[in-house]
Structure 1
Amino acid sequence: MTTTTVTPASFSDCINELGNRFDGLKVSYGTQPEHSCRFDELITEHSEWRTALMRHEAGRCPGLDPKGQVAFLVGDTAHYLLTAVAALYLGEGIVPSLASDNLAFMKYDVHWEENGASGTYQSLEVRLLGSDCWAYAPRTLINHAIPASSQADLQDLLRRQIERLFQPLIERLYQLHRLSKAAQWRLVADALAVAFLNIGRQSGVEEQAREEALALIKHPGSPLFNRQTGFFEIILKDKRSPENVLARQHFRARGGCCRYYTSDAANYCSTCVLLPREERDKRLNHYLEQQYNAQSA
């Protein structure tokens, strides 16, 4: 990632600006607020926040088994955190410190309306508590950023930090609820892939974002490595003239399972790793067709 224009800014300005630039991202910088949870608090033997998050998952998916609650907890925390990481990495060329005592989560409610229906769901804001960071050819000049010697070194630093951050949480959840460590690492890899895909798409660098994500996930010997997590493309063709492509979109291929099928809904996500590929592609082709028709109306 290179650039010819570097804009001086404080770390706090950089973080706060990101929150305004990307949909689905809420990230901030500062001291730990009241009623928030530091990441390392999720790892303690008796964590009230961890228990509350699992109860929340059980409440929004009635019947979800305990392993499913763990899967949702891992997937959700990884999703929100790695979306912020992807925005900094892809948008600014910066890797923040991912020490577990440098990260906090805060709950907030999101209101939605669609087709006459409405509701509220709980989301998590990521708070960076310190300004330590690394950069190589950054978009924004952070005076105290530690320089990386190459883009490859910056990427490797990011991967190793992600591995160190999630390893104790995954170990604790395995001890308590026996969801396999490999299954949990797959969920983190899935979250990383979709975070990079979404931020890359919004930044206009989707192809680069997919390449970066795959380099992180497919690193030999990394616990993130699995054969399934990746990307695939769905191409919507005109039924009357199949040579005419109406729309195309890349999606994240899952390697892990959130176990939503164990809930009372007894259904599979559209990209579930347990779905036959033909059924997965059929569902997503229908989704793409709906999107195309709505935009054409």
Structure 2
Amino acid sequence: MAVAKNTSLSRKALVLHAFETQAAYVPDMRAELEPAGTDWISAQTFFSDDEAMDEFLAFEQSRYARTDLKTAGAFLINDYAYIFAATTVPLFVGFGLVPELSPASVALSFYTKKQLHHGKIYRSRRAHMRFDEAGIRHGRLDDPADGDLYRIGIENHFCLVVDRVHAKTKLSRAALWRLVGDAIAQLFLDAGLRFDAVEAAKAAAMRILKTPGSPLANRELHYFDVTQCDRQGKAIRETFRQRGGCCRFYLVEGGTCCSTCVLKSPQDRNEELQLAMRQNLSVG
């Protein structure tokens, strides 16, 4: 649902509708407006706390054997950037809303999610995020100025996070910022599909993530299409996000490079994606 389709709603009603829609879309990482309770902590307080940071990194190291500290740092920023993107990108793509995103203004409620996959239980760190309703700005997905506002919010939020993860793990700031950009780009693609605004979402993401001088900007991150024919010979096109960073999962025991890893050649990447598409389409 694009902003232009909600002009009949009051600003208050639009905000409530947007947050309800995001919660239904990503229920395990909700954007919330209710006052923060005792199980909430500001992002500023959490990422400034050595004990909290050490526990988060230890959790990441416990998930897979042979996870070194730099890889744990990559996992941490990957997980947290996904949480941030899942809560904020749908609000912007679907409704043009940009909350106040400074670490002191955002509250977090962390928990551990367990999922059964191929007979094994995998754990991941998840969180809901609370925003100050008074700090929400109303804009449009296709307005570059509103995209700049969101980008500045991302940068302000993650400056602290990136600095703290870098200090703890010595993984370079550039590598960490690339992983933040990867998460933001993926959620723009996903939310664009959700709100029937794929091209506008992709264009906005590239404006935001390719801004000269921004720590989010890198040459490798982009979107690309892969085409595969189904069993009736109809060409099926799917859009993917090419990562600009590497999450280092290939370094852990049993790990591999992800499907759009920056370390893969475009030819190998596309061949693997086409194989996966053929399997999904039941094409031999």
**Given the two structures, how large is their TM-score scaled by the length of structure 2?**
0.87
Identity %: 26
1:69-108 correspondence to structure 2 within 5 Å: 69-108=72-111
Give the Cα separation in 2 of the matches to 1:206 and 1:271.
19
Q: Is the 8 A contact 2:220 2:244 kept in 1?
A: yes
Aligned CA distance change for structure 1 residues 136 and 270 (closer, same or farther; 3 Å): closer
How big is the shift at 1:180?
0.8
1:130 corresponds to which letter in structure 2? D
Superposition map of 1:25-64 within 5 A: 25-44=29-48, 46-64=49-67
> Match for residue 151 of structure 1?
143
The answer to whether the 8 A contact 1:109-1:120 is kept is no
Q: 5+ residue gaps in structure 2?
A: none
Aligned with 1:230 (options 222, 236, 241): 222
Is residue 65 of structure 1 aligned with residue 54 of structure 2?
A: no
1:166-204 deviation per Cα after TM superposition (whole angstroms, max 9, x unaligned):
112212222232111111111111111001111111111
TM-score, length basis structure 1: 0.84
**Displacement of 1:86:** 1.0
For 2:238 and 2:89, the matched residues in 1 are separated by 20
User: Post-superposition shift, 1:109?
Assistant: 4.8
Match of 2:124 in 1: 122
Determine whether 1:183 maps to 2:175: yes
More helix by share: 2
CA contact (8 A) 1:90 1:200 kept: yes
What CA distance in whole angstroms lies between the structure 1 residues aligned with 2:120 and 2:197?
Answer: 33
- After superposition, the Cα gap between the structure-2 partners of 1:22 and 1:91, relative to the gap in structure 1 and judged at 3 Å, is farther
Structure 1 pair 157/207, CA: closer, same or farther in 2 (3 Å)?
same
Query: Which whole-Å deviations, capped at 9, do the CAs of 1:232-266 have from their partners, x for residues lacking one?
Result: 11111359x9xx44422111100111111221124
- What is the aligned residue count? 278
Inter-partner Cα distance in structure 2 for 1:57 and 1:137: 37
Q: Output the CA distance in 2 between the equivalents of 1:26 and 1:121.
A: 18
The answer to whether the 8 Å contact 2:107/2:130 transfers is yes
Taking only aligned residues, the RMSD between alpha carbons, in angstroms, comes to 2.6
CA distance in 1, matches of 2:63, 2:20: 30
